[in-house]
Amino acid sequence: MHKWVSGILVLLMCLTVFSTILPAQEKISLRVAWWGSQDRHNRTLKAIELFEKKYPNIKIYPEYTAWNDYWTKLNTQAAGKNLPDVIQHDYAYLSEWATRGLVLPLDEYISKGIIDLSSVAENQISPGKIGGKVYGINLGTNSLGMLYDPELFKKAGIPFPKVGWTWNDFREIATRLKNKLGIYGAEAITKADAQVFKVWLMSHGYWLYSEDGKSIGYKDDKLFVDWFNLLLDLQSKGAIPSIETDIARGTLGVEDMFIVTQKSAMGLLWSNQIVAVSKAAKERPLRFALMPRAPIPNAKPANYLKASQFFSVTSQSKHPKEAAMFIDFFTNSLEANKVLLAERGVPISSKIQKSLLPFLGSSQREMFNFVSLAEKNSLPIPPPDPPGATDVVNNVWNPIVEQILYGRITPDKAAVEFRDKVTKILQQR
Amino acid sequence: MNKRERYNNVMGYLFISPWLIGFFIFTLFPIIASFILAFTRYDVLSPPRWIGIDNWFRLLEDTRYHNSLKATFYYVFTAVPLRLIFALLVAMLLKPSTRLAGLYRGIYYLPSLIGGSVAVAVVWRQVFGSEGLINFILGMMGIKGLNWLGNPSTAIWTLIILAVWQFGSPMLIFLAGLKQIPDSLYEAASIDGAKGWDQFIKITLPMLSPVILFNLIMQIINGFMVFTQAYIITSGGPLDTTLFYSLYLYQKAFQSFEMGYASAMAWVLLMIIAFFTALAFKSSRFWVYYESEEGK
Amino acid sequence: MAKKAKRQNIIYHIATFILGIIMIYPLLWMISSSFKENADIFTTMGTLIPPKFTVENYIEGWKGFGNVSFATFFKNSFIVAGIGTIGTVISSAIVAYGFARIPFKGKDLWFTAMMITLMLPFQVQIIPQYIMFNTLNWINTFYPLIVPKFFGSAFFIFLIIQFIRGLPLELDESAEIDGAGRIGIFWWIILPLIKPALITASLFSFYWTWDDFLGPLLYLNQATLYTVSLALKNFADPTTITNWGAVFAMSVLSLMPVLLIFIFFQKYLTEGIATTGMKG
């Protein structure tokens, strides 16, 4: 009997000792979600391994999917109040999430230095700001550019696009390329979101939305009409693929773009996509030109620096501090960035940018050069899209673009309809 | 209630109890929730707000919604009959148990196995592309091809053909149904002098009618809910000609953040499907022959 | 006359041949693309013979993501589809017998309710379902994918009902006279006779569960739990580098189990068990 009691006592003591030790060893777990393809998954997973090695008390549970599925899943998780701690975010949705309090402002962690942005320029931070607070840390800087094939330009005897070229120059060059080589001058100009039109407006000194996000940002519908007359003109000349051709191709990815197969001499792309395009084009040299400016005197630049994507911390996270540490690691660790290799765009830290240079391939170097050229010739980042912007793009912009290019409606009529419908949506919100 | 009735009631509920329990645990809540959401504005990210019947009225003036109705009805009234006829035809051909039948069945079922994968999207664009297989064959016959997927009047037909091409599941069901028809019936008919077509009309069709009814109803239901093919291949374009009901509903729910509106759409669709299903069931009295009701 | 018959015969064979090619052309295309080098896939879309034959896509694809290879994804798919199919077919057959043969109070009501569940688009049920499984603490497990299957699926219940209703009622009656109860009749008489329907249901159930990616997408978070269908989707992203060769290679592999199961089981479909001894 005696032995029994002492035995139990010893056991209890052991348990208390263990239980006081155990919490110290207990790992903090973070769920991290992103979208991408196999290449990005593998790079990110390797960077996560490095993070776990550096912080052995933090365990990362990665959740990765492709772009479309990512948002279906994330929205469902948001509704179910089961969001991951760190999520990759997109410019199109960040403001919707921030205004609903689903992602945390990170200013506290930035000022404490947990997220160290000392070697990051302000124009690389501002894309993630909403209402003056930082809701997302830029994972790579991007700018829209006109990718061109120098070889085809030489073959046609046409000089390369210069800084400050306008849409009129573009029209002439694209048409000449078409006539000389019998291929498309350019592709992806009619991209299925309002991105290119926005840049067109920007160079005129306007933006698609007003500052309060309650109405359209330009007064004169001539801007809308001119833009589509330009596209219709290029389409009828065969200088860009017809809408029929573009729709039939669908959006498989950068791999089946005409610029890859040399059926087009130019193509509109985000700067980070050059890596994928060059790889698909068997590393044939391709170059980036800045976006053409408005065909008016004193036109403004038509480029701005955008975040390819963000990391944000969700408000449902139980460990926001550790989540911030994770984001910091992605931003500032050279080791991690050597693995990630600017796959998400040019890293925002100038230190990392410099130390990464020797490791870059030729297409990545072109991307770095282009982004720094764009930085010198860019306007400040426009305000984030107002709530309702996705509705505008999906249900008004895209259908109207199709109707114009299929010749079902004239640009003049479309301009009025566009203004009516967009105003209605924006004022409802 | 006599003893037999009581026994039947007990046994009936005992047999259907798996489904009944599952219905109350897993199925009922989402259905009720979606019905309630149809009367709210719900952007998924913040809690739903009650707005009464606004969503239902908005359906009346949403032109894209009307486009989606048009595309869906067009699809149902072409793809469903074509698919059923094709499936029955091939099932009849593949019914004999020859040595090659297994291989044929495999080949004809294969397209359905590829399903709605990314691969099918790529392949379909290749087949119907302006430099694709179809135009190549047409070219050999001296006919100039079309841009099938880019042309507003032909794009929906590429999806209808895809549906017909993936006829495997109704075919297998027909095949299983054909196999259940007793050979003795055909033997008796041959003795009476009935041949091919006569046999088909007098024996095959009536004996197969319960399975035909099943396939008809399931194809109507699935036809109205068609989603994947348009989602991965056409995304609804060009000019909304392939914007099927479920695709527009999905876009509203998960891309425009209007889950409440999407729920109202879903319930309208449910009523449309229920109407056509009820029609099929009601009509079945006149053309479906149940072996088991003969003795009643 | 003989000439005409011969010509018809040739036309028939050409037609069948072209139809056959059309039926399997996409598969041939997929297989051929899986052996092409990545850069060749989109430049040589029209040709079925790879300009440069490579098995690299299979090796690269099989590696999966990080440390999780397709071996894991296949294992998960087999678990989910295998257990799910057994559950669906058994429970559906039981329920179907109840609806098809037993006259009980409220039958029409419940049958209608069951059909209605088939008519509500899944898109609006995603969120309530997720909230429900989240409350049960089933997220990141196979439970949401497997457990509901054990309560019958409306599609298969209706399918089996139609097959049972095609069987003569005298079978039941004579068994009843011999003293068999409902359970006995179901087990000894009905079940053996609806074997073609059960095999059809098993094939469909297995394939549909195998192919489903939305359920796995929503309910599985960790890569070690991903199924093949979900993993395949994770290869392709329209905005970044996609290893298309690997997508096609793994698509071909993912087709194999379903195809093998089909080839193995379809011979039971042809045996026509139901035809013997009936009406006798």
> Tell me, what CATH number does B97's domain have?
1.10.3720.10
Task: Please give the single-letter amino acid code of residue A102.
Answer: L
DSSP letters of A206-260? --SB-TTSSSBS-S-THHHHHHHHHHHHHHHHTSS--HHHHHHH----GGG-TTT
Q: What per-residue confidence (pLDDT) applies to A19?
A: 46
Kindly report the CATH number that applies to the domain delimited by A145-303+388-428.
3.40.190.10
> How close C57 gets to chain B, by Cα (Å)?
15
DSSP H or E stretch at residue A63: strand A58-65
Strands A310-313 and A86-89: antiparallel
Residue for token digits 């009501």? C109
pLDDT tens for C221-234 read 988 999 999 998 88
DSSP-based three-state secondary structure for A53: helix
A319 secondary structure, DSSP code: -
Residue B238, preceding peptide bond in cis (omega within 30° of 0):
yes
Q: How far is CA C233 from CA A15, A67, B58, C205, in A?
A: 47, 10, 35, 21
Query: Any idea where the domains of chain A sit in the sequence?
Result: 27-142+306-376, 145-303+388-428
Report the run of H or E that residue A352 belongs to, with start and end: helix A350-356
Partners for C (CB, 8 Å, 3+ pairs)? A, B
CA distance A340 to A357: 13
Among the residues of chain B, which ranges form H helices?
A: 3-22, 28-37, 54-61, 63-94, 101-114, 118-128, 133-140, 155-165, 168-179, 183-191, 196-199, 205-224, 228-229, 245-250, 259-287
The tokens describing A40, both together, are: 């990005």
Kindly report the nearest CA distance between residue B68 and chain A, in angstroms: 13
| C142: DSSP letter | S
Dist CA B87 CA B45 (whole Å): 44
Check CB contact of C62 with chain B, cutoff 8 Å: no
- Out of B46, B150, B237, closest to residue A245 by CB: B150
Torsion angle, alpha carbons of B43, B44, B49, B55, to 10 = 50
> What is the per-residue pLDDT across C120-142, written as a single tens digit (0 to 9) for each?
999 899 999 999 999 999 999 99
Residue type, B201: I
Distance from CA of A327 to the nearest CA of C (A): 20
Where would I find the beta strands (DSSP E) of A241-330? 264-270, 287-289, 306-307, 310-313
Q: Least CA distance to C225: which residue of chain A?
A: A63
What class is the A27-142+306-376 domain? alpha beta
Q: Which of C123, C182, C235 has the CB atom closest to B249's CB atom?
A: C123
**pLDDT tens-place string over residues B11-61:** 999 999 999 999 999 999 999 999 999 999 998 888 999 999 999 999 998
Q: Which residue of chain B comes nearest to A242, CA vs CA?
A: B150
B260 confidence band (pLDDT: 50, 70, 90): very high
pLDDT tens for chain A, residues 1 to 429: 455 555 555 555 554 444 444 444 578 999 999 998 888 899 999 999 999 999 999 999 999 998 888 999 999 999 999 999 999 998 888 888 898 899 999 999 999 999 999 999 888 888 888 888 999 999 999 899 999 999 999 999 999 999 989 999 999 999 999 999 999 999 988 876 788 999 999 999 999 999 888 899 999 999 999 999 999 999 999 999 999 888 887 766 777 789 988 999 999 999 988 888 888 888 889 999 999 999 999 889 999 888 889 999 999 999 999 999 999 999 999 999 999 988 888 999 999 999 999 999 888 999 999 999 998 898 888 877 887 888 888 889 999 999 999 999 999 999 999 999 999 989 887
Strand, coil or helix: C239: coil
User: What is the tens place of the pLDDT at every residue in A8-38?
Assistant: 555 555 544 444 444 445 789 999 999 988 8
Domain membership of residue B146 as a residue range: 63-293
Tokens for A196, please give them: 């290119």
User: What is the rounded distance in angstroms from the CA atom of residue B78 to the CA atom of residue B85?
Assistant: 11
- Chain B residues close to A406, C-beta within 8 Å: 152, 238-239
Q: How far is A303 from chain C (nearest CA, A)?
A: 20
Closest alpha carbon to A142 in A269, A295, A262, A315:
A269
Chain centroid to CA A102: how far?
A: 20
Interchain CB distance below 8 Å, B295 and C170:
yes
Structure tokens at B241: 């000609």
CB A30 within 8 A of CB A52: no
Least confident of A259-263, B221-225, C6-10: C6-10
Mean pLDDT (whole number) for C147-153: 94
Q: What is the tens place of the pLDDT at every residue in B83-103? A: 999 999 888 877 776 666 677
Which residues in B have their CB inside 8 Å of a CB on A?
A: 43-46, 64, 121-122, 125, 128-130, 147-152, 155, 233-235, 237-240, 251, 254-258
- C-alpha dihedral sign at A208, A211, A216, A217: negative
Contact between A80 and C127 using a beta-carbon 8 Å cutoff: yes
* CA atoms of C259 and B166, how far apart (whole Å): 15
Amino acid identity, position C14: I
Chain C's closest residue to A36, CA to CA, is C237
Distance (Å) from the alpha carbon of C240 to chain A's nearest alpha carbon: 6
Single pTM value for the model: 0.89
Whether residues C66 and A41 touch (CB distance < 8 A) is answered with yes
Q: Count the neighbouring beta carbons within 10 Å of the beta carbon of residue A138.
A: 29
Distance, CA of C101 to CA of C162 (rounded, Å) = 11
Q: How far is B152 from chain C (nearest CA, A)?
A: 24
Rounded distance between C-alpha atoms, residue A99 and residue A105, angstroms: 11
Token couple for A27: 């790992």
Picking from A36, A38, A33, the residue whose alpha carbon sits closest to that of residue A87 is A33
Backbone φ and ψ for C70, nearest 5 degrees, come out as -65, -20
**CA atoms of A58 and A67, how far apart (whole Å):** 27
**Closest by alpha carbon to C151, among A265, A373, B18?**
B18
Ordered structural domains, chain C, with CATH: 60-275 (1.10.3720.10)
- The verdict on a CB contact (< 8 Å) between A75 and B257 is yes
Gap between the terminal Cα atoms of chain A: 76
Distance, CA of A256 to CA of B180 (rounded, Å)? 49
Q: Is the ipTM beyond the 0.90 threshold?
A: no
A251 inside 8 A of chain C by CB: yes
Within 8 A of C121 by CB-CB distance, chain B residues are 225, 227, 245-246, 249, 266, 269-270
**Beta-carbon contacts of residue B261 (< 8 Å; ≥ 6 apart):** B41, B55, B58, B252
Calpha distance C220→C240 (Å, rounded): 24
Q: Which distant-in-sequence residues (6+ apart) come within 8 Å of A344 by Cβ?
A: A40, A139, A140, A272, A308, A309
A72 to chain B, closest Cα gap in Å: 6
Angle at B204 between CA C16 and CA B222, to 5 degrees: 70
Taking an 8 Å cut-off on Cβ atoms, the answer to whether B214 and C267 are in contact is no
Average pLDDT, rounded, for chain B:
87
Q: How far is CA A70 from CA A388, B207, B255, C230, C236, in A?
A: 20, 48, 12, 12, 12
Q: Is B258 helix (H, G, I), strand (E, B) or coil?
A: coil
Mean pLDDT of B123-127: 80
Which of the 8 DSSP states describes residue B75?
H
| Nearest CA-CA distance, residue A270 and chain C, Å | 9
> Using the beta-carbon criterion (under 8 Å), do A250 and B121 form an inter-chain contact?
yes
Q: Which region among A8-17, B179-188, B211-220, C198-207 has the lowest average model confidence (pLDDT)?
A: A8-17
Give the residues across from C65 on adjacent strands: C68
Question: Which one of C56, C239, C243, C250 would you mutate to disrupt binding with A, by most A Cβ within 10 Å of its Cβ?
Answer: C239
Residues C194 and C263: beta-carbon distance below 8 Å = no
CB contact under 8 A, B239 and A403: yes
Query: Each residue of C9-58: pLDDT tens digit?
Result: 677 667 666 777 777 888 888 889 899 988 788 777 777 888 889 999 99
- Do A64 and C41 lie within an 8 Å CB cutoff? no
Tokens, residue A289: 């030109």
Domain count, chain B: 1
Write out chain C residues lying below 8 Å of A39, CB-based: 240-241, 243
Chain C residues with CB-CB distance to B290 below 8 A: 165-166
Q: Taking the CB of residue A287, how many other CB atoms lie within 10 A of it?
A: 17
In a domain? residue B190 = yes
What's the confidence (pLDDT) of residue A29?
92
- Tokens 């919490």 belong to A23
State pLDDT tens for residues B106-121. 778 888 887 767 777 7
Q: Do B235 and A251 touch (CB under 8 A)?
A: yes
B123·C275 Cβ contact <8 A:
no
Distance, in angstroms, between C215 CA and closest chain A CA? 10
Residue B53 inside a domain? The answer is no
Best residue of C41, C92, C101, C123 to probe chain B, by most B CBs closer than 10 Å: C123
**Do C99 and C163 touch, CB atoms closer than 8 A?**
no
C136 contacts chain B (CB < 8 A): no
* Closest-CA residue to C68 (of A48, A325, A326, A84): A48
Chain A residue numbers touching C43 (CB-CB < 8 A): 260-261
Q: What's the rounded Cα separation, in Å, for the pair A79 and C128? A: 9
> pLDDT digit string (tens) for B161-185?
888 888 888 988 898 888 878 888 8
Cβ of residue C73 closer than 8 Å to a chain A Cβ: no
Contact A255 C42 (CB under 8 A): yes
Q: Is-contact A187 A241, C-beta < 8 A?
A: yes
**Residue of A247, A249, A391, A397 to mutate, interface with B, max B Cβ within 10 Å:** A247
> Are B150 and A394 within 8 A, CB to CB?
no
Number of A/B CB contacts below 8 angstroms equals 78
Q: For residue range C74-124, what is the model confidence (pLDDT) as tens digits?
A: 999 999 999 999 999 999 999 999 999 999 999 999 999 999 999 999 989
Measured CA to CA, the distance from residue B257 to residue B263 in angstroms comes to 12
Q: How many CB atoms lie within 10 A of CB B97?
A: 13
Which residues of A fall within a CB distance of 8 Å from B257? 75, 96, 390-391
Chain A CB contacts of C222 below 8 Å:
61-63
For the beta carbon of residue C73, count every other beta carbon within 10 angstroms: 28
Closest CA to C170 of C178, C158, C162: C178
